[in-house]
Amino acid sequence: MNPTQLIILDYGSQYTQLLSRRIRELGVYSEVVSFKITAKAIKETFSNLKGIILSGGPASVYEHDAYTVDPEIFDLNIPVLGVCYGLQLLCELFGGKVEQATNKEFGKAVLHLDDANSQLFADIKDQSLVWMSHADHITKLPPNFQQIAHSQASIAAIKHQEKPFYGIQFHAEVTHSEQGGTMLKNFLFLVCQAQPDWNMQDFIVKKVAEIKKVVGADQVILGLSGGVDSSVAAALIAKAIGKQLTCIFVDTGLLRKNEANQVMTKYQELFTMNIKLVDAKEKFFKALSGVAEPEAKRKIIGKNFVDIFNDEAKKMQKAKFLAQGTIYPDVIESSAHGHSSKTIKSHHNVGGLPKELKFELLEPLRNLFKDEVREVGRQLGLDNTIVDRHPFPGPGLGVRVIGEVTAEKVKILQEVDDIFISKLYEANLYQTVSQAFATILPVKTVGVMGDNRTYDYVVALRSVNTIDFMTATATHLPWDFLEAVVNEIINKVDGVNRVVYDITSKPPGTIEWE
């Protein structure tokens, strides 16, 4: 028997995937589908469907060509929960009225329960905070529906008097909704009677079958970076198709100490797949020579990387698919970049490879969040040093050598970084911080070692804590720990005589220095 299933019909809310993820966290398989899906297709595709959620969305249900839903889904005998736009759609379709509100509600609101006995509100205390984001509201309830909660400005939740149809105006899926998680749980387990019978192992089984089916007898190539996402994607695809997968690992010379060797050894040990190391160190150093401006460096690194990958890809005549470790936050981020948000830094690995490469994309992790990706990695047998790795920027140490990149400075930086990161592991601190690294400055300062004057480089250590990498605070690393790291760096790394610790938050700083 399939695990129990829930689907979310997507009307374009920025929270739709988050909602889907919350449901998976509660142990129920959930999938986001287009709002255009018909009741017939739902019946044919989902054999153990227990619930349907109509998501939020930016439009208004009373607009002339507003997105709607196949009304026959209400005859499937399956519980429905409308969230925000979804609630308004239920209201409109069942004969109520939705209009533009004079008091728009954006942000936190207090939820007053009008029917605390409703299944949706089991274990929910009155007057908890919920997150609202709407400009329209219900002005007339549809017949056979009752109001079960309100906020100061609107009807906040409704329920059909006989059928298991519910609607909420607020976003239960965001953490600002204090008891949102319990409400979703109530919908899943009390209203839909779903079972918490889904986990990442099922995801793997499902994806492996899907990859096998899609790829058939064709070949796949994947650019391996050694980071979490591309590693997990490679592991998953290797599990499905073994040697039909070829990973290309480009040694740009801007990787961490010994990274190229470690990746090659580890991957050859762990997986059945082809893996090809391209040594392009010289090429990158040459291209970067004399260039100091960060965006110029990024562009050069990105372009060279793409050229090398292209050349390798062209050699693989039979490859039909290009696999990428795209994960859900990349999808949001790159679509945000596509609109009006300003480019602070051009992340070359988002948005990817040139169009003239005629590959079909294979992105098996596209709907997962980072911690889900890590869990998949663990289940596939990747060890913690891969799965719990901090993010590493696409341009690598190229943006951590401030100013012009030279082989000498990269070498110094690799040693410094290795000491800092190893010490974090030793002190069991690595997993408690979100990202830690070192940067080398284009400045020499005077110091004294033994009885001699030194004139060497300054390096900066940075460690941040963050949830989404959009904002971050510097980690309060223990003073003794920092002192021990600094001592080891000064004693062991030639060319460095001063170490500073960066305590700038983001904003105003960014995480990387360039």
Q: Is 255 left (phi over 0), alpha (psi -120 to 50) or beta?
A: beta
Considering beta carbons, is residue 15 or 513 the nearer one to ligand XMP? 513
Residues 416, 401: Cα–Cα separation, whole Å? 12
- What is the nearest approach in angstroms of ligand XMP to the Cβ of residue 506? 5
Residues 334, 10: Cα–Cα separation, whole Å? 19
Query: Contact at 8 Å (CB) between 86 and 165?
Result: no
- What is the nearest approach in angstroms of ligand XMP to the Cβ of residue 434? 8
Residue 389 binds ligand XMP (CB under 6 A) = no
Query: Contact at 8 Å (CB) between 506 and 496?
Result: no
Contacts 24+ apart (CB under 8 A), 405-410: 405/254, 405/285, 405/288, 405/291, 405/297, 406/285, 406/289, 407/253, 407/281, 407/285, 408/495, 409/440, 409/457, 410/253, 410/254
Those residues with Cβ within 8 angstroms of residue 460's Cβ, 6 or more apart along the chain or in another chain: 438, 439, 440, 441, 499, 500, 501, 502, 513
Candidate list 180, 223, 329, 393; residue touching ligand XMP; CB under 6 A: 393
Residue 395 binds ligand XMP (CB under 6 A) = yes
Binding piece for ligand XMP, criterion CB under 6 A, among 37-45, 113-121, 315-323, 504-512: 504-512
Catalytic pick among 137, 171, 333, 372: 171
Catalytic pick among 105, 173, 375, 512: 173
Candidate list 136, 372, 375, 512; residue touching ligand XMP; CB under 6 A: 512
Is 171 catalytic? The answer is: yes
Query: Within 10 A of 88 (CB to CB), how many other CB atoms are there?
Result: 30
Query: Contact at 8 Å (CB) between 308 and 419?
Result: no
- What is the nearest approach in angstroms of ligand XMP to the Cβ of residue 301? 8
SS3 110: strand
- What is the nearest approach in angstroms of ligand XMP to the Cβ of residue 211? 25
Candidate list 159, 239, 298, 400; residue touching ligand XMP; CB under 6 A: 298
Interface size with ligand XMP, residues (CB under 6 A): 16
Strand-pair partners of 49: 5
Residue 511 binds ligand XMP (CB under 6 A) = yes
Residue 256 binds ligand XMP (CB under 6 A) = no
Residue 506 binds ligand XMP (CB under 6 A) = yes
Considering beta carbons, is residue 171 or 348 the nearer one to ligand XMP? 348
**Phi and psi of 83, rounded to 5°?**
-115, 120
Binding piece for ligand XMP, criterion CB under 6 A, among 32-40, 144-152, 389-397, 442-450: 389-397
- What is the nearest approach in angstroms of ligand XMP to the Cβ of residue 326? 12
- What is the nearest approach in angstroms of ligand XMP to the Cβ of residue 250? 14
Candidate list 231, 435, 439, 497; residue touching ligand XMP; CB under 6 A: 435
Query: Contact at 8 Å (CB) between 30 and 173?
Result: no
Give the contact letters, 316-355, x = binds to ligand XMP (CB under 6 A), - = no: ----------------------------xx-xxx------
Residue 294 binds ligand XMP (CB under 6 A) = no
Residue 391 binds ligand XMP (CB under 6 A) = yes
Is 91 catalytic? The answer is: no
Answer whether the bond into residue 507 is a cis peptide, omega within 30°.
yes
Residues 436, 466: Cα–Cα separation, whole Å? 11
Annotated binding site for ATP: 225-231
Is 63 catalytic? The answer is: no
Query: Within 10 A of 452 (CB to CB), how many other CB atoms are there?
Result: 7
Q: What is the 3-state secondary structure (H, E, C) of 34-89?
A: ECCCCHHHHHHHCCCEEEEEECCCCCCCCCCCCCCCCHHHHHCCCCEEEECHHHHH
Give the contact letters, 441-470, x = binds to ligand XMP (CB under 6 A), - = no: ----------------------------x-
- Footprint on this chain of ligand XMP (rule: CB under 6 A): 298, 344-345, 347-349, 391, 393-395, 435, 469, 506, 510-512
Active site residues: 84, 171, 173
